[in-house]
Structure 1
């Protein structure tokens, strides 16, 4: 009978599933029984290397942080493309060389554009800080 062969192949999976459920129940039960049951003041506070928590964990990041992160990912993926091209350098020939030169030229154009619009300027402007410092020093004299 062909139906019996399918049933005999199914019983090891059912046994395995039952064994997993029994072990899971045993581990959870033993953990509950043997575990510590105390409610102290600092039990539910997160531990960060001995530093007391202050304020909220919800801090706002500047949007430029995400812009720099995206630029990193984009240029990192492009570096992978260049590495793959280098692996197939001899098989690709002159057509591959011209294609990678165009690709790198596009990368340079995008980098110059992003530099021009200030996408890579994160942090305070150094020249403004120096001018303010010199102005302060002149006022003190």
Structure 2
């Protein structure tokens, strides 16, 4: 073997072990479920388990766009809170510049919130 092949031997060995372990941890449960029979559906397995009652309509029915708007607003304001805590903890290191940057950030979010409110995205029927 050339000298360069010996340098790649640990990487190839690591790759072979990774492929073997992934085959074991992915393939073995699939083969066991086929052999034991846990993938055979029956009435109890196909019953409604989340809500407890059958669906009213098709599961592919479209949601109202306001649902998505409210969920996006929730994500935006949830991220705002996630940014506020580290900012408050590190405020004494960032000083006036850090405070001003957060005020600009909060101002932009407030303008966006007012816009959504005026457009009626928060009104639910």
**Alignment-derived partner of residue 3 in structure 2:** 2
Whole-angstrom distance in 2 between the partners of 1:34 and 1:67 = 46
Q: Which residue number corresponds to residue 137 of structure 1? A: none
Q: How does 1:40-55 map to 2 (within 5 A)?
A: 42=43, 46-49=46-49, 50-55=52-57
Aligned to 2:69: 67
Cα deviation code 1:17-55 (max 9, x no counterpart): 457647866654554343279786x37x73213534553
CA-based RMSD? 3.5
Alignment of 1:1-141 (within 5 A): 2=3, 5-6=6-7, 9=10, 10-11=12-13, 13-14=15-16, 17-18=19-20, 21=23, 28-35=30-37, 42=43, 46-49=46-49, 50-123=52-125
Gaps of 5+ in 1: 124-141
Looking at CA atoms only, which structure, 1 or 2, has the larger radius of gyration?
Answer: 1
Q: Which has the higher contact order (CA 8 A, sep 6+)?
A: 2
Paired positions, count:
121
The gaps in structure 2 that reach 5 residues or longer are none
Q: Please report the TM-score for the alignment, with normalisation by the length of structure 2.
A: 0.65
Q: C-alpha offsets along residues 66-122 of structure 1, whole Å, 9 cap, x if unaligned?
A: 111111112222222222221210011122222322332332232222212212112
TM-score, with structure 1 as normaliser: 0.59
Does the CA-based 8 Å contact 2:33-2:39 persist in structure 1? no
